[in-house]
Chains A and B, each alone.
Chain A
């Protein structure tokens, strides 16, 4: 089966502006650039959930936003259903949008406070389909029903809903056009424990029922383990390790992955703790070190780590970018 979405060598850079940037440009001879995404490649099969994890500032949300063209890519290719979509014009891209939808982290900020639930969820249909108002309403109510929101909530406004209900509205709005790929950017982070569990189960049920593919972006590693079949770990604009979910969580090989997993508190007082930690903090994506990007923080760093890092298969389907594995 050909992959549904194939991302290769994706780069998203943001040029810096302002007096400080101008001074730097004079000094370095070239304008400073934030290399938020700096060469990312992955594929997503139909019906598959790929988890993209990493800490704040690693570029995972920029990958998501680039994929749905909220920011333009700087370089690289994004093939969706066999078609190159990174070079499409904005109007050409609009034809792909119904198939490629996104759910955002903040369930409140991503809803329009002045529209009723029904109007918000129905809006993509107005933009992307030729359905009549009656057909739109029917489709909207069916999707609301599917995400567990009854018809009595359809006439309400965002401020009248709980956090969990708001995120369901966001999911309904993303689903209403019958997409094939949903980009989920931290959809459960703003939710309370019990609501989180319900949204996770809802997402899994919807995926199975409709054969959806998810790009699930999160720093909540336990949720990623629950939902994703494959997981990619990002650090400073690049993917440093990728593997089937169970394999990645049970046998992390990249030092960054190992440190990340070791930092997650396990709800079991007798669970063994890996004392592995990195020193320092994530460096600025403007001044990215050459060679391995983790080098300065890695307790295992060797002179070889200053060389370009190979992307190696360390076990079947398990890849890592590290000189030492």
Chain B
């Protein structure tokens, strides 16, 4: 049997009202993040990855709202529990780090105090104890000379170091789920590699599960155990990472894999055809239909359900179901 789910997203839909109509940013997305695993959520810009993460934290702001589905965390639906109880979960049991670590830190408070405040707030520690724990956290995430660095401000930290501080802050409350939204975008390759190493290592050590949002398939291949692929607000494929790269099933996943240049060998690169469709009053059916080489009438009318193609490997595509999709 599968390991237990930490968070189980079922049929999540999120819409934003606009002058011209409803924007369906997320359309019946389902996936789960399991105990101790790193799940990758990949897709192009505008595929709904960040909105999905925001919905898990119930931080969707007007004019957006969750219009359907449930988000089960510890067996309770996050969409339905009272706000004051949610406060005990958000930031404590579910933490998030963003792709702009520098702007997520308070520029007017020393880095050490920002970390220490979390221990006071969530664990009720004394000022002296939280200072001590803050230094331990900064050491844990690999900040050199933590005593000196704790007295500095965010602007005195490099991008990679800011991201380490964010990770330290996210982990102060021993969360069960860490949402990392493009944590390495904008960092240099070697800095990015060390942040990913840190996430992997800390995930394994603290037992926190990680939902890693990224558009970089390289990051997915080296960091995640399972992957969910999103396109235009729909989850189109979920698979263990090896299965996804060996036998990508959905035409979008296949196109995505072929569209990136490789550092390890020479390849013929093909961009994903077309562009991400408008999410303003989108038609029923598969949203990849307009870009798909195997499209048929049915794809535009009906939405394909997730069907298994291999152990733990699910895909939402009629062409794959019917065997019309060419072999990989």
Contacts and interface: CB of A to CB of B under 8 A. Distances in A.
Interface string B265-277: 0110111100100
B278 interface: no
Contacts, number: 109
B190 A263 contact: yes
Of the candidates B190, B194, B256, the one having the most CB atoms from chain A within 10 angstroms of its own CB is: B190
A186 interface: no
| Chain A, interface SS category | helix
Contacts of B196: 265
A198 B218 CA distance: 19
B189 A197 contact: no
Interface residues of A, number: 35
Given A225-B262, A277-B190, A266 B272 contact: no
Contact of A200 (B188, B242, B269): B269
Contact of A222 (B190, B221, B257, B262): B262
Interface in A176-215: 192-195, 197-198, 200-201
Contacts of A219: 188-189
Of the candidates A55, A262, A267, A268, the one having the most CB atoms from chain B within 10 angstroms of its own CB is: A267
11 contacts: A192-B45, A194-B272, A219-B189, A246-B266, A263-B190, A265-B218, A265-B221, A265-B223, A267-B217, A267-B221, A269-B245
A260 interface: yes
Contact of B256 (A193, A200, A262, A266): A193
B221 A268 contact: yes
Given A193-B259, A197-B271, A198-B271, A269 B188 contact: no
Contacts of A221: 189, 263
A271 B189 contact: no
Contact of A197 (B193, B260, B263): B260
A56 interface: yes
B190 A266 contact: no
A226 interface: yes
A192 B45 CA distance: 6
Nearest to B271: A197
B271 A194 contact: yes
A263 B192 contact: yes
Interface in B60-100: none
